[in-house]
Amino acid sequence: MKKITLFLIALVTSFSFFAQDTSEILWKTGASDIDLTIDQGYIVIWTWSDLAEHNVISFSDSEEVFESKDMSGLGEAFSHKFTKTGDFSFRCTFHPQTMFGTIHVPVSGIKNEKRKKLSIYPNPVFNHLNISSPIKIKKISITNVSGRKILERSVHTDKINIDMSNYRNGMYFIQIESDAKKHTYRIIKK
C-alpha cells in the first residue's frame, strides 16, 4: 500500500510540472470507447487501474504506431508522444471489446469542420451502413475487434452504402481515408 501511495504522489507531482503537455487515461477492464482530443506533441499516459493483464496497441494501419508490453498491476503505465495529426485508434488485445478508444490530434489552430460533417448512420447498423462526406472518400476499410481486415475498398466518392447484412453481430472499426486524412470510427452491427 505504501508503494502505491508513493507512486501516486510521484505521479501527481510529475503531472503538476507537465500538466499542459500530458493527458492520462485510467486503463482498466471496461474502459471502453475512450475519446480524447489532444494537441500535437502531447503525451498520453495509460495508467493501469486494476490488477488484470493489459496492453495498449495502435491499429496496424495507423500513421502513429505505438505498442506497450503486456503488463499487470495497479499503477503500471505506458506513455506515447503524439507527433502527427489525425485520429489514432487503440485497444487492449486481452479485452478488445471492452478496452478501446481513439486519440484525436487536430491540426493546431484549425477546427476540422469537414470531419464534423461526416455522417455514418445508422449506428448500430442492422443491414446497410451509409456514409456521407463533404469531401471525396478515397478508401474505406472495416476491421473486426481482433484486428482482422474484413473489407477494403477504393471508392472515390462522397456517398457510400455498405451491405453489412452478412456480418456477424458485434463491434467493428471503419477507417475512412481521404486525400488529407484517415479517420477511424467504431460501429456496432446488430
pLDDT per residue rounded down to tens, the chain (190 residues): 555 544 444 444 444 344 457 788 888 887 777 878 888 888 998 989 889 999 999 988 778 899 999 999 888 999 999 999 888 989 999 988 888 888 888 886 554 444 456 788 888 899 999 888 888 889 999 988 888 899 999 998 889 999 999 999 988 888 888 876 777 788 889 9
Domain layout of the chain by residue ranges:
2-105, 113-189
- Fold agreement between 2-105 and 113-189: yes
**CATH class held by domain 2-105:** mainly beta
Name residue 118's amino acid: L
| 113-189 CATH choice from 3.40.50.10420, 3.90.230.10, 2.60.40.3080, 3.30.160.270 | 2.60.40.3080
pLDDT score of 56? 94
**Separation of alpha carbons 137 and 6, rounded Å:** 50
C-alpha distances (whole Å) from 159 to each of 16, 113, 117, 133, 152 are: 46, 18, 13, 6, 16
C-alpha distances (whole Å) from 145 to each of 27, 70, 73, 96 are: 18, 18, 24, 6
Q: Contact at 8 Å (CB) between 36 and 25? A: yes
Question: For residue 92, which of 156, 146, 165, 150 has the smallest C-alpha distance?
Answer: 146
Q: All 3 cell numbers of residue 187?
A: 460501429
- pTM score: 0.55
SS3 of the chain: the string is: CHHHHHHHHHHHHHHHHHHHHEEEEEECCCCCCEEEECCCCCEEEEEECCCCEECCEECCCCCCCCECCCEECCCCEEEEECCCCEEEEEECCCCCCCCEEEEEECCCCCCCHHHHHCEEECCCECCEEEEEEEEEEEEEEEEECCCCEEEEEEEEEEEEEEECCCCCCEEEEEEEECCCCEEEEEEEEC
**Separation of alpha carbons 78 and 25, rounded Å:** 10
Query: Residues 65, 40, 181, CA angle at the centre, nearest 5°?
Result: 65
The cell 503537455 sits on which residue?
21
